Amino acid sequence: MKKLSTYGLLLVASFGFAQEPIVHDPVMIKEKGTYYLFCTGKGISCFSSKDMKNWTKEPSVFAEKPKWADSVVPNFENHIWAPDVYFHNGQYYLYYSVSAFAKNTSAIGVATTPTLDPKASNYKWTDHGIVIQSQPNRDLWNAIDPNLIFDENGTPWLNFGSFWDGLKMVKLNPDLKSIAEPQVWHTIARRARSFDLADANPGDAALEAPFIFKKDNAYYLFLSWDYCCRGEKSTYKVVVGKSDKATGPFLDADGKDLFQGGGTLVIEGNKNWAGVGHNSTYTFDGKDYLVFHAYDSNDKGKPRLKIKEINWKNGWPTVSPME
């Protein structure tokens, strides 16, 4: 085996080839044999790979912060959260979150491009601005962590949310850039709150990051319980519910409604990996995958990309435990 120089080792580490890249809130899509990963970061971080193992850092989606961001969060620093990516009618749609930490001063925007390949001549992200916005003193929900799903009739829905009074879903117009009128909303998951301070605190109803995945004739709502972003002290875990409709109700394996706090455990942390969560779910080449982040307890709590193949048992997703 050819020996790497110190410089070569540094390159490998910085570009994420030697181990999983450092990411939060990963989503993934495949275009022409290349996987593209988008995640929380400066201008929305992006990586590419041919095999889902060796990753190359690509340019961020936004070199400069969206023009509207300061109207939501004053002096916004272009640290954009929790994207979602979807291909529809020849365009890639990227939904993303602009928010103040631990507040529902938030908005979800959307940008489009005809290709994800930065080297292509037609590569260009066009921002279309705010899709939905939450405001303190008005809303008991938080406009972050977006995920797009089409229902059994081909109607687009945006599901999203974090803490407060649960995870929401709203019908979109066919352009996928705006809320349909008259507005149709659903609460698809919630956990009991021990108090009700709508504007001062998100409460202890710790759930966020909905992701709906269709398998055969069923819709699976994956979400994260408990706390992210605390390094080795993070307590995130992934749970799931199931429905025959994209809009729910979603029930866990014991028949409990996710609206009533239900959720069947998919994966959680251990002594080596903390805060396992904020997943996305996909089918690539006939196999289903769970994509998520986990904090490495043996490396100062750094958040690493994790990808596990999903197996199905009696209609429910299972993955191997963290090692």
Reference 229, options 213, 212, 209, 210; nearest CA is 209
Structure tokens at 216: 């055969």
Element (H, E) at 70: helix 69-72
| Annotation: CATH topology of 20-318 | Tachylectin-2; Chain A (2.115.10)
Q: Which residues contact 224 (CB under 8 A, 6 or more apart)?
A: 207, 208, 209, 236, 237, 238, 239, 277, 278, 279
In the chain, the largest separation of any two C-alpha atoms, in whole Å, equals: 64
Type of residue found at 110:
V
Supply the pLDDT for residue 46. Answer: 97
Supply the pLDDT for residue 1. Answer: 34
Give the 3-state secondary structure of residue 258: helix
Low-confidence residues in the chain, pLDDT < 50: 1-18, 199
| φ and ψ of 251, to 5 deg | -115, 145
Q: What does the domain layout of the chain look like in residue ranges?
A: 20-318
Q: Which residues contact 21 (CB under 8 A, 6 or more apart)?
A: 37, 47, 55, 57, 304, 305
Reference 225, options 238, 240, 210; nearest CA is 238
Supply the pLDDT for residue 10. Answer: 34
Annotated active-site residue in 20, 25, 145, 226: 25
Annotated active-site residue in 58, 139, 165, 208: 208
C-beta of residue 205 within 8 angstroms of C-beta of residue 193: yes
Calpha distance 196→164 (Å, rounded): 9
Supply the pLDDT for residue 104. Answer: 87
Calpha distance 199→291 (Å, rounded): 32
Supply the pLDDT for residue 103. Answer: 85
Q: Which residues contact 191 (CB under 8 A, 6 or more apart)?
A: 166, 205, 206, 207, 225, 261
Whole-angstrom CA distances from 180 to 68, 177, 200 are 21, 10, 30
- State yes or no: is 208 an active-site residue: yes
24: Cα within 13 Å, side-chain hemisphere: 20
Whole-angstrom CA distances from 16 to 13, 27, 52, 136 are 5, 17, 12, 39
